[in-house]
Amino acid sequence: MKRLPPIARILLAIAALTSSTSLSANDVQVKSAAALDGKVKCFAHTSGWTANSTGPCHTFTPPAKLAVGERFVADGNERQIGVIVASQAEQDMLGYGMDILKGEWTCVAAETLEDIPSDANQDENLTWLFIRKCQSDL
């Protein structure tokens, strides 16, 4: 198995907070969310590597709004958001331009919970959206 690059490990750690097997008290499924800074990033994970500038995310078109049922395009394929998980940071996670402070909310959106990286699916092809500064419909 290939070793994950540092940024991928950070993103997987953030995304793992939202996986179906590790939802904590600070992680909640929501119907919609807003990117407070207007930024929605697409990430693709293939056999141990994560990227947002190649693969399915190379030609990313974000959804009009971030909500379950909305559609986005990655690599010419239309996908429908089926799940959004909002996660409140339990501690500061600093570095790689992804500085997240304790108490801040991030969101991950995907077609299914299985499309969000976790320890159980590191070798699968996954595509998900990451919202660094998120406000959900809590």
| Residue 50 and residue 41 in contact, taking contact as beta carbons nearer than 8 Å | no
Number of domains in the chain: 1
Residue 1 lies in a domain: no
How many Å apart are CA 111 and CA 131, to the nearest integer? 15
Residue pLDDT tens, the chain, 138 long: 334 344 444 454 454 444 433 445 578 999 999 999 999 999 887 765 444 444 568 788 999 899 999 999 987 889 999 999 999 988 888 876 778 888 999 999 999 988 887 777 666 778 899 999 999 876
Here the tokens at position 8 are 């991928």
Q: Where are the beta strands (DSSP E) in 15-65?
A: 27-30, 32-35, 41-46, 49-51
pLDDT of residue 110: 94
How many Å apart are CA 35 and CA 67, to the nearest integer? 11
Residue 25 lies in a domain: yes
Q: How many CB atoms lie within 10 A of CB 112?
A: 12
Range of the domain at 45: 6-136
| Residue 2 and residue 47 in contact, taking contact as beta carbons nearer than 8 Å | yes
Question: Which residues lie across from 34 on neighbouring strands?
Answer: 135
pLDDT of residue 53: 46
Q: What is the pLDDT of residues 99-120, one digit of tens each?
A: 888 899 999 999 998 888 777 7
| Residue 26 and residue 87 in contact, taking contact as beta carbons nearer than 8 Å | yes
Q: Which of 21, 17, 40 is nearest to 93 (CA)?
A: 17
pLDDT of residue 100: 85
Output the CA–CA distances (angstroms, integers) from residue 115 to 4, 43, 100, 123, 130, in the order listed.
Answer: 18, 11, 22, 12, 12
